[in-house]
Amino acid sequence: METSRGKPILEHQGYIYIINKKSNNNKIIWCCRNYRHNQCRSRLHTIDGEVVLTVGEHNHEPSHIPGEVIASRTKMNDAAKQTSHSTHDIVADCVSRLSDHAISTLPNLQHVKRTVQRIRQRHQNPLSLPMEHYPNIWKFLKGLKKEQCYVDAQIIQAEVGVRQARRREQIRRETRILNLLNEPTTTNFEKVMALAQNIALKDS
């Protein structure tokens, strides 16, 4: 697993560790990820990837949710760098493997998509090309299942109050409507007609 900046992360017994120090004999000293924000002093020593020593106790409870989210984010990043799958498919595939609790801690999925797109652009990985043949029924069903998981994830985020991304045109339209409703010099009939015109422009 990696941080958003590509630095290694270690999960051990429900706690997340980041590298604090390296030595020449393949020994790594890890500190708790909450070291800076929550002053957690717990440390972990590994040699050749094996945990050999734990130092100190954590001042917070363990949770596998952060590790689950980080692993999913790492998988998205790798897919953006190495595959030609569409951004939507990458995100949908990863959220389909997350628990509901983990999904509720993610940022808005539109923001997640934009992050994947930035990583792909940074590594100059082109978007997927159209398929020259129709997928078989199993691929179709698999894609349908991922799409359903993506929609379910959006519902979960909406239920827990994750802020939803709004398009620029939607914001402009809402601003126009508010300005119309708050205009003191127009009659109610004129306001209704103006609202109807805005709706007609939206549908056209």
> Is residue 24 classed exposed, middle or buried when 0-12, 13-18 and 19+ CB atoms within 10 A define those classes?
exposed
CATH number of 9-55, picked from 3.20.20.70, 3.30.920.30, 2.20.25.240, 2.60.40.10: 2.20.25.240
Residue 131's pLDDT is what? Answer: 46
In whole angstroms, give the CA distance from residue 66 to residue 72. Answer: 10
Query: What is the pLDDT at residue 132?
Result: 45
Give the per-residue pLDDT at 129: 47
Pairing of the two strands 43-47 and 50-55: antiparallel
Q: What is the number of alpha carbons within 13 Å of residue 50 lying toward its C-beta?
A: 4
Residue 167's pLDDT is what? Answer: 62
pLDDT in tens, 91-145: 888 888 888 888 888 888 888 888 888 888 887 765 554 444 455 666 766 777 7
pLDDT of residue 43: 92
> Distance (Å, rounded) from C-alpha 194 to C-alpha 200?
10
- Residue ranges per structural domain of the chain: 9-55, 67-124, 137-201
Q: How far, in Å, CA of 204 to CA of 202, rounded?
A: 6
Q: Which residues of the chain have pLDDT under 50?
A: 129-133
Q: pLDDT value at position 165?
A: 64
pTM for this entry:
0.56
Q: What is the pLDDT of residue 37?
A: 82
Contact by Cβ (8 Å): 123, 81: yes
Note the pLDDT of residue 74. Answer: 86
Residues facing 51 on adjacent strands: 46
